[in-house]
Amino acid sequence: MLKRVGGSPWLLVFIFFAVLFWRVASLQLLPDPRVERQSSRQYWSRVPVSTNRGFIYDIKGNALALSVPTSSFFLDPAFWNPSDASALKGILPESIVKTISSSLPGRFFWLVRKTDEVTAGKIRGLKLKGIYEINEKKRLYPNKSLLAHVLGFCNIDDKGLSGIELVWDKILFSPPGYKVLAKESSGRTIDISRYSHEERTAGPGSVTLTVDSRIQFIIEKRLEEGIREHKAKWGSIICLDPNSGAIVGMASWPSFDPNVRESLKNLKLIMNNSIGRTYEPGSTFKPVIMGIALERGAVRLNESFKCPYRIKVADGHISEASNRSYGSLSVSEILVKSSNTGMAQVGMRVKPFDMYYSVREWGFGKNPGVELNGVEDGLLSTPEQWRGVVPSNIAIGQGLAITPLHLASAIAAIANNGYLLRPFIVSQATDSSGQVIYRGERQVVREVLSPRTASWLRKVMVDVVKKGTGKQADLPFVSIAAKTGTGQVAEKGEYLKGKWVSSFGGFWPAENAQYVMLVVIGEPTRGKYYGGDVAAPVFRSIVEDIYQTGLLVKAAADW
Amino acid sequence: MVNEKRAVRKSVSIAREVSPYLIFFALVLFGSFMGLGVLRLYSFRLECKLNSINSQIESFQAQQVELKQRLSSLLSPGRIYGYSKKDLGMVYASNVKVLRIDEPLLAELPETGNRKDMAASRENEGWFYFFLEKALAGE
């Protein structure tokens, strides 16, 4: 019979093996989807992997914010014995221990998240059934409260909530990825690091700031000393490079430690006064008004003004802060002596509409463009509302509200020959591959002063320190140009008695400015309140410190 | 009978002609499956190697984070200031005048190195001149 089928006995054998081989090949190369799913479940295990949040560096490359490994613990109620809760007394808060002392629903309950190693070691050591450990990353600020307002902070899931952490969250945050592990027959996993394509996420980038942490430390320390000495309520210091607009230091008081999460609940602590608090600048605004008046030809350099103790303006009065008449003052003397009546007359020579638009051209009433959140634009009423005594009030720095950053940028324009620059605090941002995706650069907003006017203003501001109201900031080894200011505090449409904002803004060396700095101390309560008495000594001490340590600003050409 | 014998002889001769190809095919198939098995085992070996390299990378990354944290803590201005004041007893050099010589005055001196490096090292040294011992004021 075999001989009859196909004429060969081997044909059947061949057919048998051919079918066998085809079946083996199809099972190997084209498995049934059900078999594939079952084997995946048995053979592969998908576990989440936490990733680092990106670094934030200062201009010298020191890490100001980084993520460090930490442990979190959870319990599975299905395997948890509530009677074991007593072992955790003293390790975990009472409320947690009480909760886990009774049976819990579901399959997951957080015991503690991102705890310190001491607590983690204690929990681990108990070896309680039903408690499992997860490795996570915790955000750490090694310098504690240094630059806290700028750096900001994150929530428990490492999402930025404030400051650089919030604004640059897309660069710094990397969502948790997944690893696929192989399982042995015993159930033990072998990490052969196979990432599935759709689950592979890009790592975090990093952000480098323009801030020098050494200068930052100096200004924070001196600000706190000044605040405590005069028992003030708030304070701010901004230090920037006038030739590029880079912010080399930004301090705000009161401050907080972003590592201490309890302190984050206090809104007064976490508010950045340098960009988020508006105040009436007072006489520190006079150089801006004088610059506008000179540029518009409303005032000539060789003019003089009669400056009595008090002048009547529309329905109000403008009077001298010193309660005395200065007689006849030249234009430069009006600034040196900080005469309110003289300045009011200068300001009123410029039409309200022209003054309004010029003040806005100087950046006031607008977002300055710095890469931070919570930046206030300030308050500048429209010219239709500039009736009566308002134009003269604005000329002496009242009737408008600005932030310290606005004024520091304006002073920088005087220092750098008339260019209003966009202030920036981020030097560069890189993605996970190291590619630079953002670079902070010198950016001219507009030319607000001619070089001649700027040069004249610089000389006058030097005289303010040498002969005028800023004598307490005078130093023998460096020429400082500055202006004092003492603004009133307004509340519900009225100026409060006995409440002032003392400020001192200037730059050094006057002839070739390397730094611009504005010191603002809000509501000193220890008697003195003039800017020259409260803020100027703080300014001087910072200049001394920076000068003695020889800290240099990065050259403008490097930005 | 003769025809049947002829038919059988013919089929045997055909089978003899074809069987080397069958054997060859079977050998090739067998070899392919064996090769596939070897390749899979080799890829598993490579994956294990990759795994150990990945573990090393993770370990080095964790080390790098720890070192950056330690460096940042060591370079913290607050720490340096606190240590200088409390442990070394240093005070502010408020009564010391600093003489700064601008670069153009140094133009005649031979350049011993890169000016940027000199400026950088002066910067780093200057930071520690921030604190001078009280004794210096009296000298």
pLDDT tens digits, B57-81? 888 988 988 898 899 989 898 888 8
Contacts of B126 in chain A (CB under 8 A): 548-551
A470 shares its domain with A510: yes
| pLDDT score for A217 | 95
Task: Determine contact, residues A431/A171, Cβ cutoff 8 Å.
Answer: yes
Contact B11 A55 (CB under 8 A): no
Parallel, antiparallel or unpaired: strands A426-430 and A436-439:
antiparallel
Note whether residue A22 is domain-resident: yes
Q: How many domains does chain A have?
A: 3
Element (DSSP H or E) covering residue A452: helix A451-466
Q: Do A52 and A120 reside in the same domain of the chain?
A: yes
Question: Would you say residue A559 lies in a domain?
Answer: no
pLDDT of residue A556: 46
Residue A4 lies in a domain: no
What is the structure's pLDDT at B109? 46
**Co-location of A180 and A290 in the same domain:** no
Query: What is the CATH number for A83?
Result: 3.90.1310.10
Cβ contacts of A55 within 8 Å, gap of 6 or more: A63, A65, A66, A206, A207, B68
User: Do both A223 and A204 map to the same domain?
Assistant: no
CB contact under 8 A, A552 and B119: yes
- CB-CB under 8 Å, B69 with A68: yes
Q: Are A407 and A281 in contact (CB under 8 A)?
A: yes
Chain A, nearest residue to B11 by Cα? A7
Please check whether residue A558 lies inside any domain of the structure: no
Give the residue from chain B lying closest to A68, CA to CA.
Answer: B65
Evaluate the omega torsion of the peptide bond into residue A69 and state whether it is cis, within 30 degrees of 0. Answer: no
Same-domain check for residues A505 and A460: yes
3-state secondary structure B66-109: HHHHHHHHHHCHHHHHHHHHHHCCCEECCCCCCCCCCHHHHCCC
Q: Are residues A214 and B127, on separate chains, in Cβ contact within 8 Å?
A: yes
Q: Which pTM value belongs to this model?
A: 0.80
Average pLDDT, chain B: 70
What is the β-pairing status of strands A234-240 and A247-253?
A: antiparallel
| Residues 73-102 of chain B whose Cβ lies under 8 A from any Cβ of chain A | 73, 75-78, 81, 93-94, 96-98, 100
Of A144, A192, A552, the CB nearest to B47: A192
Cα(A64)–Cα(A365) distance, integer angstroms: 32
Cβ-Cβ contacts under 8 Å, A552 against chain B = 119, 123
Minimal CA separation from A14 to chain B, in Å: 8
Indicate yes or no: CB of A548 within 8 angstroms of CB of B127.
Answer: no
Question: What is the predicted pLDDT for the residue at A49?
Answer: 65
Do A247 and A122 reside in the same domain of the chain? no
The predicted pLDDT at position A204 comes to 87
* Alpha-carbon gap, residue A208 to A61, rounded angstroms: 7
Average pLDDT, chain A: 89
Q: Do residue A37 and residue A55 come from a single domain? A: no
Q: What is the pLDDT of residues A426-462, one digit of tens each?
A: 999 999 888 999 999 999 999 999 999 999 999 999 9
Domain of A459, CATH number, reads 3.40.710.10
Domain boundary among A155, A175, A209: A209
- What is this model's ipTM? 0.73
- Asked if residue A3 belongs to a domain, the reply is no
**Is A321 in the same domain as A268?**
yes
Is A546 a domain residue?
Answer: yes
Indicate the residue of B48, B50, B130 with minimum beta-carbon distance to A548.
B130
Q: Are residues A260 and A187 in the same domain?
A: no
Q: Do B130 and A69 touch (CB under 8 A)?
A: no
| Subunit contact B77:A140, Cβ cutoff 8 A | no
Q: How far is CA B78 from the centre of its chain?
A: 31
Q: Is B129 on the interface with A (CB under 8 A)?
A: yes
- Chain A and chain B share a number of CB contacts under 8 A equal to 108
Contact call for B72 and A64, based on CB within 8 A: yes
A118 and A240 share one domain: no
pLDDT per position as a tens digit, A321-352: 887 888 999 999 999 999 999 999 999 999 99
Residue among B54, B78, B93 minimizing CB distance to A193: B54
Structural domain including A314 reads 213-553
Per-residue pLDDT of chain A (559 residues; tens, 9 = 90+): 445 545 677 888 888 888 998 898 888 888 888 888 887 776 666 666 667 799 999 999 999 999 998 888 988 888 889 998 999 999 999 999 999 999 888 888 889 988 988 999 999 999 998 898 888 889 999 999 999 999 999 998 889 999 999 999 999 988 777 666 666 666 555 665 544 444 445 678 999 999 999 999 999 999 999 999 999 999 999 999 999 999 999 999 999 999 998 889 888 899 999 999 999 999 999 999 999 999 999 999 999 999 999 998 888 888 888 878 889 999 999 999 999 999 999 999 999 999 999 999 999 999 999 999 999 999 999 999 888 889 999 999 999 999 999 999 999 999 999 999 999 999 999 998 889 999 999 999 999 999 999 999 999 999 999 999 999 999 988 999 999 999 999 888 888 888 999 999 999 999 899 999 999 999 999 989 999 999 999 999 999 999 877 776 654 445 5
Tens digit of pLDDT for each residue in B20-56? 888 888 889 899 989 999 999 998 888 888 878 888 8
| Residue A29 sits in the same domain as residue A101 | no
Same domain, A349 and A393: yes
Residue A275 tokens read as 């960009």
